[in-house]
Structure 1
Amino acid sequence: MKLFACAICSQPLHFETSRCDSCGTPQGFDPGEMELVPAERPGRGEMLCANAEPGGCNWLTEPGEPFCRACRYNRTIPDLSQGDNTQLWRTIEVAKRRMFYSLFRFGLRPETRLEAPDGLAFDFLADPTDPSRPVMTGHSDGLITVNIKEADDVERERRRRDLGEAYRTLLGHFRHEIAHYFWGVLTRDQGALEQFREVFGDERPDYGEALARYYRDGPPARWQDHFVSAYASSHPWEDFAETWAHYFHMVDTLETACFLKVFGAAPDPEGESPASQDPSPIDFDPYSEPRFERMVQSWMRLAFSLNLLNRSMGMPDLYPFQLSPPAVCKLSFVHAWIRQSVGRAGRTDTAMAALRAMAEGLRSGMSAPAEDIVK
């Protein structure tokens, strides 16, 4: 996530800002320019989204369009007259807009249901009065359903603990569920589907049975050697979704670190003293960086540093995961596919040949240093 600045007084602004605290200028996010800009434009007035008041949306829209590019994907919102639904929905929308920021930065702009029958849509729902039929967060044929209780910090922490998860956030949910949508986009091409199977495995075994087995028996022994999370071991679809989500964790946080210019102060996990390191900040844009190995190396250093900072505050690790060589291989597949899909990659046959070599290593149980895998 970039650091923004007020165009009037240069005051630093965060992504959710709707009014500059320094000069009072109303602010709006322009998804075309990918910038926070004054909401009132000469000759056209204020073009804030129709969800500005009820949903706290600070995005701008185009003339004749009531909703911004992010809110056009909403199919159902909760009944705002009930209880805490308004605040829960506002919290959900913050995470959703951050997810769309990441997609739009890459040039990934899914079709809406108005543009295509199988386009992307969201239902944000509250549990019904019948406790035996709770709303399940998930994806089905382009429709992403989110239980608004996930915006309740206490409830979300309870579910994280009950499910034995190391990490559970609203933004993480959005990044995970949107991966299921893009899996459908990716595998419209038979060649891409074959490549997916080489890296993540065959998705054709029954998904319901696989999940039931996972929740009954738990992940396999030494799952950390092959997957980015325990849940990723349940089925290739979930492996892809968890890997995709972690890729966006990595890229968006690297961008934040680049704009904050604090990366060079981080101690080296190999034991090198900070004084002997290059003090410069991250000097690349992770959304356009073609060299995956550079991103991984920077991410490993940054994640290590962030975890140290959290521990100094008495908090659990911000990134409680280890990236094994096979998990890094899968992350590189996501990186390559995104770049190819938006026309930023070179020859796809060369990139996919490298991925096939990685897949062979996965199948043979190869264990190699991460720096060798990602080159």
Structure 2
Amino acid sequence: MLSFRCPRCAQLVFFENTTCLRCGLPLGFDPGRLELVNAEGALHCANQREAACNWLVTEAGTLCRSCVLTRTRPDDADLAAMAAFATAESAKRRLVFQLLDLGLPLRSWEDEPGGLAYDLLSSRDSPVITGHVDGVITIDLAESDDPHREQIRQDMGEPYRTMLGHLRHETGHYYWPVLVERRGKLDAFRALFGDERADYGDALDRHYAEGAPTGWENSYVSAYATMHPWEDWAETFAQYLHIRDTLQTAAAFGMRVEVAEEALSAEPAVDVDGEPFEAILADWLPLTYALNAVNRSMGRDDLYPFVLSAAVVHKLTWVHRLTVTPA
């Protein structure tokens, strides 16, 4: 995420701000310019009240570039679900900002069949399974509740679980056909991630019955990534977005960490087909080392609880190439 300043008084403001706390100027996010701008007289997203959306639109009564991607949401009368909906939409706006900033193709379900759509549903009255099918991403709004999500994280033995993480992972599934299948990259994908034609249902049953194989850390970024090549792709794609967003934020605020290379125990950076990933890792490894140390000083778990093996770096490098190379 970039850093933003009030266009009137230059006070630092957050991405979510609707008003400058120093001078009182109304603020709104312009998705065309990717900037927080003076919102005096501007048109706000129709979800300004329902989702606390501060994005601007060009036509009155319409939804912004982020909110328009939501196909289904709770009824206005369900106040608890609507509060969770607002939290989920806030995380989704961060994701959509990043997708726009990276220049990734972003077509909504209203634009074309199979376009990106989000069904944000409450599991309070009936079960909701978070997942992706043919461009439609379903998210259980219960994941907006910190105690509920933390309990599931512990039950599942996961090192990390957030609403933004869910959105990045499931959106990774949407981008698999966009970046891999339609670009004719299946052979290269299978060489790195495995054959996605393996039966998904069988893989799912096997994963929950047997767990991740011994030594999975050498080839995968998470235990869940071992379940099926599609999940390995989605987990890797999400990690790539984590890394790029965090580094952008650190750079925007002038953060720089220098750690002697020999002090880092992570695997060395690698080069895939002449497209190096060293530049990103050279910034990422010292930053996460320092941030994890700071968290431990506060008695907290590691901020970034993942190890990037050489095999995972190969996969991240490949995702990087697909992301920065025009279609």
Does TM, scored on the shorter chain, surpass 0.5?
yes
Residue 319 of structure 2 aligns with an amino acid whose one-letter code is V
Equivalent residue, structure 2, for 1:5: 5
Shift of 1:297: 1.8
Q: Give secondary structure in 1 for the equivalent of 2:71.
A: strand
Match of 1:28 in 2: 28
2:190 maps to which residue?
197
1:263 corresponds, among 249, 256, 260, to 256
Say whether residues 1:115 and 2:111 are aligned partners.
Answer: yes
Q: Does 1:250 align with 2:246?
A: no
Q: Distance in 2 between matches of 1:126 and 1:341?
A: 37
Report the equivalent of 2:16: 16
Q: How far apart are the structure 1 equivalents of 2:217 and 2:157?
A: 15
Would the alpha carbon gap of residues 335 and 240 (structure 1) be closer, same or farther in structure 2, given more than 3 Å must change? Answer: same
Q: Which residue is 1:281 aligned to?
A: none
Check whether the contact 1:307–1:318 (CA below 8 A) recurs between aligned residues: yes
Q: Are 2:101 and 1:105 aligned?
A: yes
Which whole-Å CA distance do the structure 2 matches of 1:269 and 1:308 have between them? 16
Q: Quick one: structure 1 residues 247 and 141, their matched pair in 2 at CA, closer, same or farther if it must change by over 3 Å?
A: same
Shift of residue 128 of structure 1?
A: 5.5
**1:245 shift after superposition:** 0.3
Distance in structure 1 (CA, Å) of the matches to 2:32 and 2:105? 11
Distance 2:183 2:69 in 1: 28
* RMSD, aligned CA: 1.6
Equivalences for residues 152-231 of structure 1 within 5 A: 152-189=145-182, 191-231=184-224
Runs of 4+ in 1 over 2 A off after TM superposition: 186-191, 266-272
Q: Say whether 1:302 aligns with 2:287.
A: yes
**Contact persistence 1:124–1:147 (CA under 8 A):** yes
- Residue 335 in 1 paired to residue 304 in 2? no
Does 46-55 or 180-189 show the bigger shift? 180-189
- TM superposition shift of 1:11: 0.5
In the alignment, the residues of structure 2 paired with residue 308 and residue 128 of structure 1 have an alpha-carbon distance, to the nearest angstrom, of 38
8 Å CA contact retained: 1:138, 1:146: yes
One-letter amino acid matched to 1:236? P
1:240 alignment partner, one of 230, 233, 255? 233
Q: Deviations over 1:269-290 (max 9, x none)?
A: 6349xxxxxxxxxxxxxxxxx8
Per the alignment, in what secondary structure is the counterpart of residue 28 of structure 1? strand
The higher radius of gyration belongs to 1
Residue of structure 2 equivalent to 1:39:
39
Distance in 2, matches of 1:180 and 1:243, equals 11
Q: What SS is found at the alignment partner of 2:125?
A: coil
Question: One-letter code of the match for 2:185?
Answer: A
**Number of residues paired by the alignment?**
317
Q: TM-score, normalised by structure 1?
A: 0.81
**How far is the alpha carbon of 1:63 from its aligned partner?**
2.8
Shift of 1:261: 1.2
Q: What are the Cα deviations for residues 306-353 of structure 1, in whole angstroms up to 9, with x where unaligned?
A: 1011111111000001000000000001000111135xxxxxxxxxxx
Structure 1 residue 83: deviation in Å?
Answer: 4.3
Does the Cα contact within 8 Å between 1:201 and 1:236 map onto a contact in 2? yes
The runs of 5 or more residues in structure 2 that have no matched partner are 265-274
Q: Distance in 2 between matches of 1:221 and 1:296?
A: 26
What amino acid sits opposite 1:221 in the alignment?
T
Consecutive unaligned residues of structure 1, counting only runs of 5 or more, are: 273-289, 343-375
> Which residue does the alignment assign to 1:317?
302
Q: CA deviation at 1:211?
A: 1.1
Contact persistence 2:5–2:12 (CA under 8 A): yes
User: Contact 1:112–1:120 at 8 Å: present in 2 too?
Assistant: yes
Matching residue of 2:58: 62
Task: Measure, in 2, the Cα distance between the counterparts of 1:80 and 1:314.
Answer: 40
Q: TM-score, normalised by structure 2?
A: 0.93
Most deviating of 119-128 and 147-156: 119-128
1:186 touches 1:193 (CA, 8 Å); kept in 2?
Answer: no
- Could you tell me which amino acid in structure 1 is paired with residue 8 of structure 2? I
Structure 1, 184-193 or 102-111: larger mean CA deviation: 184-193
Aligned-partner Cα distance in 2 for 1:52–1:73: 15
How far apart, in 1, do the equivalents of 2:124 and 2:82 lie? Answer: 17
Separation (CA, whole Å) in 2 of partners of 1:319 and 1:87: 28
Letter in 1 for 2:295: N
Instruction: Decide whether the 8 Å contact of 1:75 with 1:123 is kept in 2.
Output: yes
SS at 1:156 equivalent: helix
* CA displacement 1:60-116 (0-9 Å, x = unmatched): 112356111111111111123224112211110111000111100011142112210
